[in-house]
Amino acid sequence: MNYSYLKKITQRKLFLTLLIFKALIILSAIYIEYILKVPACNLCLYQRIPYYLSILILFYIVFNKSTNIILIISLAILMFVNIVLSIYHVGVEQQIIAEPMLCRSNSNIQNVDQLLENLKNNTFISCKDANFTFLGFSLASINVLISSILAYFYVLIILNVEKIRRNY
């Protein structure tokens, strides 16, 4: 395959673009949760962790001008982890996979008064309910697509890291 477009972009621009893209993904999730008031379930929150870690790694790569292959491989691994989490979440939403314990209320309710108090204070959200969709797709299914594209892109970068270093 011809990856000549990688020759035209500097390492800093490449990783800065990825950093901005991932920051926009997280900001979008936060916007949906806090501005649009669509609460996130526990699986949604766990799917953000690879993005947070990726942002930290990309920040380091961009501002330290690093082409450390271990860091780039870590970025790919984080996206593969996110693919697995997202596919699992889609399976829960589609009721193919049973809802895990982390998606269920963790309160120890003994009586009706405790139940009422829990309902007032607890913003528990079931992982099997897709509370927000875009073009008919849940955010978990969109995350499968985005994470897959990013993982593929990181694999391309890993395979062409020497070319990227030479152009830096």
Tens of pLDDT, residue by residue over 135-146, are 878 888 899 999
Q: What is the DSSP string of 37-57?
A: -----HHHHHHHHHHHHHHHH
Q: What is the pLDDT of residue 31?
A: 92
Q: Give yes or no for a contact between 127 and 40, defined as CB atoms under 8 angstroms apart.
A: no
Token pair 């593969």: residue: 80
3-state helix, strand, coil in the chain (%, to 5): 70, 0, 30
Is the pLDDT score of 87 beyond 90? Answer: yes
| pTM of this structure | 0.78
Token pair 């008031």: residue: 37
Q: What is the pLDDT of residue 138?
A: 84
**Which residue has better confidence, 106 or 103?**
103
Q: What is the pLDDT of residues 144-167, one digit of tens each?
A: 999 999 999 999 888 887 666 565
Q: What is the pLDDT of residue 127?
A: 72
Domains and CATH numbers, the chain: 4-146+154-166 (1.20.1550)
Is the pLDDT score of 93 beyond 90? Answer: no
**Which residue has better confidence, 101 or 44?**
44
pLDDT band at 77 (very low <50, low <70, confident <90, very high): very high
Q: Quote the Cα angle for 146-147-150, to 5°.
A: 85
Q: In whole angstroms, what is the distance from residue 153 CA to residue 147 CA?
A: 10
Q: What is the pLDDT of residue 38?
A: 82
Q: Give yes or no for a contact between 82 and 50, defined as CB atoms under 8 angstroms apart.
A: yes
Q: What is the pLDDT of residues 30-75, one digit of tens each?
A: 998 888 888 888 888 899 999 999 999 999 998 887 778 899 999 9
Q: What is the pLDDT of residues 105-119, one digit of tens each?
A: 544 555 566 556 655
Q: What is the pLDDT of residue 9?
A: 58
Q: pLDDT averaged over the chain?
A: 81
Q: What is the pLDDT of residue 163?
A: 66
